[in-house]
Amino acid sequence: MQSYKRLNTLTGWAVFAVALLTYALTVEPTASFWDCGEFIACSFKLQVPHPPGAPFFLLLGRMFSLLALGDLTKVAFWVNMVSVTSSAFTILFLFWTITMLAQKLLYKAEATYATADTLIVLGTGAVGALTYTFSDTFWFSAVEAEVYGLSSFFTAIVVWAAFRWERIEDDATANRWLLLIAYLTGLSIGVHLLNLVTLPALALLYYYKKYQKITFWGGVMAFGAGMVILGIINSGIIPGLPSAAFVVERLFVNTFGLPFNVGTIFFTVLFIGALVYGIIWSARRNKVMLNTGLLALAFVLIGYASYIQVLVRSGYNPPINENNPSDALNFISYLKREQYGSRSLLYGPIFTARPIDQKRGEPIYRKQGNKYVVYDYKPVYEYEANQQMLFPRIYSTQPGHTQLYRQMLKIPEGKKPTMGDNLQFLFSYQLGHMWWRYLMWNFTGRESDEEGAGYLLPWSSDQNIPDLMKANKARDNYYMLPFLLGLFGIVFQYFRRRRDFLIVALLFFFTGIALQIFLNSPPSEPRERDYIYVGSFYFFAIWVGLGVMSIAEGLRNYLKNDTMRNGLVTGLCLLVPVMMGAKNWDNHDRSNRYHSVDFAKNLLNSCAPNAILFVGGDNDTFPLWYAQEVEGFRTDVRVCNLSLLGTDWYIQQMKRQTYESEALPISLEFDQFITGKNDIIPFYEIGAVKNGINLKEYISLIRQSSPAVQVPLTTGDMTSIMPSSVLFLPIDKAAVDKASFVPASLRPYVKDTLQWTIGKNDLYKPDLIMLDIIANNNWQRPIYFSTTLASQNYLSLKDHMQLEGYAYRLMPVGVQGASDGFVNSDIMYQNMMKKTFWRQMDNPNVYYDETYKGSPVISARIAFFRLADQLIRENKKEQARQVLNYSLQVIPDKSIPFDQVSANYVRFLFAVGEDKKALEIADVIAKRADQNLTYLQQTGQRWGDTNADLYSLQTITEACKEANQVAAATKYDAIFQKHINALG
């Protein structure tokens, strides 16, 4: 038989090939939702994504994008292949890590291995690695352009290299491996910081090898040293070096009168010179540990140097340049992720706390003239002592979170939470819902892809559950087999190699539980966050592999033939990842999914040429960035993200031309929107303008920092106010006529002034900038608001907005009672029927998860039914019939199940003479609603939205009554009454 070493190498590459083929066959061909569109666009043109960036990932992405050979539609595929390739290599190093740990459990020299020994070691590695290959979370990250696949690769190769280093006896050779680990750690900083949390456990591995006398306190000190190294890199190097450089820079500029950047250059040269001198000096004095430590620091910094790309590219002001980290000031803020705020970990306020005082914190500098000056201070809020506690888990300033805390912990209004409530939230939600649930998803099975879905256990039955729940492609039960293998592996390693167990357990703890404690999750998230904890699933997969060896050992007394026993156990256990791969394939295969990009194109095509388009969060913005930056689609439209429009750097970018889009008409200058200035504009009514204020004059007063629209704060500073709930804007009718965008039917209603009630709520900086744009645009450029925005983002102007597809256009004329805008059926018909893209949306074999079934599909269906409704009102029934049938053709129930919006189609189908189709849809919707509501009443568990199901039943009942479909109306009303009475 061939040597173990050769077989270990070949089997590792075979497992790698399985992973590579799996991910390559299921990779998404274009940009997925969430951050992928941003990362692909930033990779393609080396731009600057959200903090703290991922420069090394972008550099690799840029290299892979060249393989598209000029075909812009293939760029996304090749950037996605960065994750595919790095994820496959993760599996390779996981296999080799498991086999190294398994070898230790044999207590045999490698040269003495029999066939049975080779079988069980390789089988252990293969089962563990393949289980992780087909695990839900890792597979999800492996087929899209996100950083987690590459981050997992660095975690895998660093841990593998550490265990490989442990086996090397020659100190000189071993030290080279330590330098490799340092370099890989530095490179990983340019991808994601997850890899750093492995350092404390690896320090313990170093201690176990280097010291012959192992003591408890020695282990504690080694672990502490690892924590110190983690702190040095995370706080001392990543933000610390740029912060120190700025101190020197400020000294050189403000005190010595030297030009900008001289101090930064001096600090860099001095630091590198000192490091080089230390390395040379320690080598000459034969101080091996010092020399190795300094070299390790140097290699960490060489890897970390990928961040130079951020500074260089930001200096060129690319279209995507988040935080504008082109100088030391912004670069430090970028690395510290300051725009996201922070949450107290050891001591701080709880959700009932309100600030009682505000003090000045760190100074905030800006360039002014030829110096750095302090323009503001970071606010430090103080709270009453009885509104703070140790280890606070229950604090958030996000809207609605206070009520969520009370609901989840059953705390009545007016009552303050206790430490018991605090710990209950930690264990039940943060560790239970936001970590343990995800672990179980990966190793026991997942209930569905619905938000908040639980995990499945062996006795979880598919009987008496709603059809849609049963048919959900993400519903996969592994019968706890991978999880049980992991438990067997934990016990086996604990009793056989306790030190190795402690190292793996620490790695598991730090990449899972400790990470959750550090992140301190709020009571709700925009999406499931399982990808954050993929590292802990990686280390659990090691135990899954070792579980194979534990079973083989447990059967030793029953099956005496070692080769037969080990071969049988390996073969049976390999069925576990095979089962996982078979079950998970349909809900991880993205090979024909395109609608994230098509949705963005449909939104852009809803806009007239040279438009300004206001949009909301990530899933609106990032696909739009991809479409424009990579495929060059509709670059005449200026996408303006309201989540970013509250930042000074983004407003500055909006004031510059980008591609075919001219600068936005923003009149306010930097001093009026710099961070800390006009962040909130409180409503404070002034009698003189109570009945209305001219918007142009108001913006002008803001620009002048006029006392007429300011009031003093308790700190003595002045703040701008909104002095009236009514705004008016003179309309330049000549400009409106020249633009020729008002329909002839509405032209007589154009008045001299646009007047509306904006309300008595406080405004925020994005609102102020939108008002500035509206005031100064003079109807020269079309202004659109995406239909996906929250209601407060429309500035109470909905009755002056014309729906033209996926976006509302601001008009100089209002329609009374049009609280949700009014439809221009001619324009919208052309946009929805001739300018939309629906690649593979009618394919039932393509997997569309809740992200797609949410805003993209709901927006489309609402747009179609709004258009059909307007056409029926205008007695254009043939066109309405075409619209409805086209909608059902491109978004059919077989690929995207009907939702509550679809219930409205029944009425319209009756109106255009499609009675049979209307009744078919009504039957499908009613049956599903009945199943969902019955399931809730029988089990107390929800599937779908209860209110949506009741609304759907009521809607189709009323539609049938209006169409004189008496029998159908009676049937659906009976179902509705049954459930409304049961739930009432």
Check: CB of residue 164 under 8 Å from CB of residue 100.
yes
Does residue 156 fall inside a structural domain? Answer: no
Q: Which residue has the higher pLDDT, 902 or 341?
A: 902
Q: Cβ–Cβ contacts within 10 Å for residue 784, how many?
A: 27
Report the alpha-carbon distance of residue 136 to residue 114 in Å, rounded.
36
Tell me: do 801 and 880 sit in the same domain: no
Report the alpha-carbon distance of residue 114 to residue 911 in Å, rounded.
79
Q: Which residues contact 485 (CB under 8 A, 6 or more apart)?
A: 127, 131, 543, 544, 545, 547, 548, 551, 573, 576
Q: Cβ–Cβ contacts within 10 Å for residue 389, how many?
A: 22
| Token pair listed for 410 | 């059953």
Report the alpha-carbon distance of residue 545 to residue 97 in Å, rounded.
10
Structure confidence at residue 689 (pLDDT): 84
Does residue 46 fall inside a structural domain? Answer: no
Cα–Cα nearest to 340, from 356, 354, 323, 326:
323
Report the alpha-carbon distance of residue 177 to residue 174 in Å, rounded.
5
Question: Where does a domain end: 341, 374, 398?
Answer: 341
Report the alpha-carbon distance of residue 839 to residue 828 in Å, rounded.
20
Report the alpha-carbon distance of residue 269 to residue 121 in Å, rounded.
51
The dihedral of CA 504, 510, 511, 517: what is its sign?
A: positive
For the residues 421-448, what does the mean pLDDT come to? 95
Report the alpha-carbon distance of residue 420 to residue 404 in Å, rounded.
17
For the residues 378-400, what does the mean pLDDT come to? 87
**What CATH number should be reported for the domain holding residue 921?**
1.25.40
Q: Which residue carries 């010092």 as its tokens?
A: 290
Three-class DSSP category at 638: strand
- Helical spans, DSSP H, in 747-849: 765-777, 825-834
Per residue in 855-875, pLDDT tens? 899 999 999 999 999 999 999
Tell me: do 821 and 867 sit in the same domain: no
Three-class DSSP category at 388: strand
Cα–Cα nearest to 44, from 29, 27, 64, 24:
64
Q: Which residues pair with 727 in a beta bridge?
A: 693, 756
Task: Label residue 400 by pLDDT band (50, 70, 90).
Answer: confident
The pTM (predicted TM-score) of the whole model is 0.94
Q: Which residues contact 885 (CB under 8 A, 6 or more apart)?
A: 914
Cα–Cα nearest to 679, from 658, 715, 709, 648:
648
Gyration radius of the chain over CA positions:
31
Task: Calculate the dihedral angle through the C-alpha atoms of 457, 460, 465, 471, rounding to the nearest 10 degrees.
Answer: 60
Does residue 820 fall inside a structural domain? Answer: yes
Structure confidence at residue 187 (pLDDT): 95
Does residue 33 fall inside a structural domain? Answer: no
Cα–Cα nearest to 613, from 322, 41, 621:
621
Q: Which residues pair with 681 in a beta bridge?
A: 763
**Beta-strand pair 612-615/638-641:** parallel
Q: If 0-12 CB within 10 Å is exposed, 13-18 middle and 19+ buried, where does residue 214 land?
A: exposed
DSSP, res 445: E
Per residue in 122-169, pLDDT tens? 999 999 999 999 999 999 999 999 999 999 999 999 999 999 999 998
Report the alpha-carbon distance of residue 239 to residue 341 in Å, rounded.
15
Residue 491: pLDDT above 90?
A: yes
Does residue 609 fall inside a structural domain? Answer: yes
Beta strands in 269-394 (DSSP E): 347-349, 357-368, 371-382, 388-390
Domain with 685, as residue range(s), is: 596-830
| Token pair listed for 413 | 């209004």
Residue 477: in which H helix or E strand, if any? strand 476-477
The rounded Cα 961 to chain-centroid distance in angstroms is 45
Tell me: do 808 and 697 sit in the same domain: yes
Per residue in 930-965, pLDDT tens? 999 999 998 888 888 899 999 999 999 999 999 999
Does residue 93 fall inside a structural domain? Answer: no
DSSP, res 601: H
Report the alpha-carbon distance of residue 645 to residue 647 in Å, rounded.
5
Check: CB of residue 726 under 8 Å from CB of residue 755.
yes
How many residues can be counted in the chain?
984
Structure confidence at residue 716 (pLDDT): 67
Does residue 44 fall inside a structural domain? Answer: no
| Token pair listed for 286 | 């034969």
Report the alpha-carbon distance of residue 110 to residue 658 in Å, rounded.
63
Tell me: do 666 and 782 sit in the same domain: yes
Report the alpha-carbon distance of residue 519 to residue 194 in Å, rounded.
12
Tell me: do 768 and 738 sit in the same domain: yes
Q: Which residues pair with 359 in a beta bridge?
A: 380
Task: Label residue 575 by pLDDT band (50, 70, 90).
Answer: very high
Structure confidence at residue 715 (pLDDT): 63
Q: Which residues pair with 625 in a beta bridge?
A: none
Residue 919: pLDDT above 80?
A: yes
Task: Label residue 338 by pLDDT band (50, 70, 90).
Answer: confident
Q: Which residues pair with 719 in a beta bridge?
A: 711
Residue 1: pLDDT above 90?
A: no
Residue 329: pLDDT above 90?
A: no
3-state percent breakdown (helix, strand, coil) of the chain, nearest 5? 60, 10, 30
Report the alpha-carbon distance of residue 817 to residue 328 in Å, rounded.
53
Q: Which residues contact 968 (CB under 8 A, 6 or more apart)?
A: 919, 922, 960
Task: Label residue 712 by pLDDT band (50, 70, 90).
Answer: confident
Check: CB of residue 628 under 8 Å from CB of residue 44.
no
Question: Where does a domain end: 305, 326, 341?
Answer: 341
Cα of first residue to Cα of last residue in the chain, in angstroms, is 73
Q: If 0-12 CB within 10 Å is exposed, 13-18 middle and 19+ buried, where does residue 410 land?
A: exposed
Tell me: do 246 and 280 sit in the same domain: yes
Tell me: do 825 and 964 sit in the same domain: no
DSSP string, 923-934: HHHHHHHHHHHH
Report the alpha-carbon distance of residue 380 to residue 355 in Å, rounded.
10
Tell me: do 695 and 815 sit in the same domain: yes
Residue 395: pLDDT above 80?
A: yes
Residue 542: in which H helix or E strand, if any? helix 534-554
Cα–Cα nearest to 109, from 4, 205, 1:
4
Cα–Cα nearest to 132, from 93, 86, 91:
91
- How many domains does one find in the chain? 3
Q: If 0-12 CB within 10 Å is exposed, 13-18 middle and 19+ buried, where does residue 588 land?
A: buried
DSSP, res 743: -
**Burial annotation 535-545 (CB, 10 A radius, 16+ → b, else e):** bbbbbbbbbbb
Check: CB of residue 701 under 8 Å from CB of residue 708.
yes
Question: Where does a domain end: 797, 830, 863?
Answer: 830
- Helical spans, DSSP H, in 107-147: 115-133, 136-142
Q: Which residue has the higher pLDDT, 333 or 440?
A: 440
| Token pair listed for 738 | 């020249």
For the residues 397-417, what does the mean pLDDT come to? 90
Q: Which residues contact 729 (CB under 8 A, 6 or more apart)?
A: 694, 695, 696, 753, 754, 755, 774, 775
Residue 714: pLDDT above 70?
A: no
Cα–Cα nearest to 576, from 128, 80, 939, 118:
128
Per residue in 603-635, pLDDT tens? 999 999 999 999 998 889 999 999 999 999 999
Beta strands in 233-370 (DSSP E): 347-349, 357-368
Task: Calculate the dihedral angle through the C-alpha atoms of 518, 524, 525, 529, rounding to the nearest 10 degrees.
Answer: 60
For the residues 196-211, what does the mean pLDDT come to? 90
Report the alpha-carbon distance of residue 324 to residue 329 in Å, rounded.
10
Cα–Cα nearest to 772, from 608, 607, 640:
640
Q: For all residues of the chain together, what is the average pLDDT?
A: 93
Tell me: do 821 and 874 sit in the same domain: no
Residue 802: pLDDT above 90?
A: yes
Tell me: do 868 and 973 sit in the same domain: yes
Tell me: do 863 and 818 sit in the same domain: no
Tell me: do 328 and 264 sit in the same domain: yes
Beta strands in 604-690 (DSSP E): 612-615, 638-641, 680-681
Structure confidence at residue 2 (pLDDT): 72
Task: Label residue 473 by pLDDT band (50, 70, 90).
Answer: very high
Cα–Cα nearest to 18, from 100, 161, 127, 149:
127
Does residue 201 fall inside a structural domain? Answer: no
